[in-house]
Chain A
């Protein structure tokens, strides 16, 4: 079940100042902004990797100050640039990390891993026993997505997941990602506007630790804000 996320007057001094907005359950939202604008910090508030200095974050109406963070994290997918795969574990072992933590049976985990890897074009038979170092950057990131999605999380947090990939692989992964994204609330951090428009239905623009724009993706490029126009200019050929 997708979850809702609610930021209420959240500050993380000195990075973020008075963040206020809601994300409905099942929504796909992109955070864009320049480096240091506060997008990643805001993302990391959702699974408690960063704690607010004031204000509070709510997931499905429950305050992150009171709920069990370990359990929340096991139901929140997390995909990052560089994938963060465990180097000493095979692709299969990496993908089944959260199912093992949740106590799934081996057969349940194997079935789910097989299905997930099929969708991401990484057949279990061919990739399951390989180590992350033997995979290309794009393949590693596919494993990263499979690992984050396998246990059907309520929220999927993505922090520049495709930032280090070449443009063609990047495009392929964006398409694979869009095909997978139903049934989960998505927050996707990127500084690439075309990517944000492709993967999200709503865009939140950060600048200087504040939200300066929050609108449907389809209306974003028409916004008169100078920073929006700079992103549009930077994205056009």
Chain B
């Protein structure tokens, strides 16, 4: 057994998500835990606030995906006030949401997950960041990444007041129409975004799929879990980020259930683990059977791969072609390998860009009518959208002055929380044997959960887990023997 290393007060700190690995007497993994150490309490302190403030209040759950909360919230307000927004408003919202998914996915692929694929888990930590990625893909490409992300974020600045700070959402519409000139500019950015997405997929094929080890990992059981998958689909069964029915498929790919957002309580349930502030969601119809996969376990996953697994395809031509390619390579649906999330994410990047082009060319987009005023007395409202990391639910109850009485939120990462814990444990079990832990162990364990792009900010309505802090390893006597 390794010696016990002493830990000064600083290294003892957990950071914003920590992994505890417990070894048995042989030095093999007995249990691994992903803990989220903080909690903020939006479900409580939104009580008493005015409903119309929710789109800007709840977006502070997560500074990484404020737009997703803004959209889910404003849709809940439409429902609360029973008011249908005019077509231009719906298109503006969908455009801003797709622009957001595009840049957020891109940020993840190149800045956060990319280092795993493009730089490699064995590389020194000083290189495992965006600078290392730029080293791999070239400075030109590096500049392109930063540039397209900036320009797409600027689109949301135009639409919503700021990519960091969208404020345009109102029940029944948005606060500001788009001008013809803005529309033309957005269309230009959107076209370039499609071009970039194609390039990104080429990089993926070149640097990842052609790399033998990654190709193996992509099919390796180490990164695989047979779970249910959930995502929004449109009326044709295609992936949609803004609206649709919530569809769940089973581990064999058969539709298990499809429901409207206002029925979410019939189908989803969450449990509390005393060792984490993150609640875990599972399918109510099947129930919680522990941290296990398979058809009899209520564990399900959301996010890019889950959405692609749950849907029948993509609604835009280029993305649809890529969708076919991916499932062909895996010879069928659903794909259970967690590392395929990265691929699915890039296919969604392409879809988002194509969808932006469609919307930016739509006649109705610049219609001056962007609001309908509500006339109904508010009572209860449900809103849903696909956040980059998964299905996001907002549920409000108000008094007849539209003051929030009760509020409930189910957020992206929380849906996959149980599966993320399982992925970590599986990787830890496979990699830590006889008490031996190597330096790349941490990185490979991290790869297992980083594929989900877990946003622990959302999951506890708190902090983002780009660096999920430390991995703590304990021997069978509960002594901390190593911190990775």
Task: Please indicate whether A and B come from the same complex rather than being unrelated chains.
Answer: no
B interface with A by C-beta (< 8 Å): none
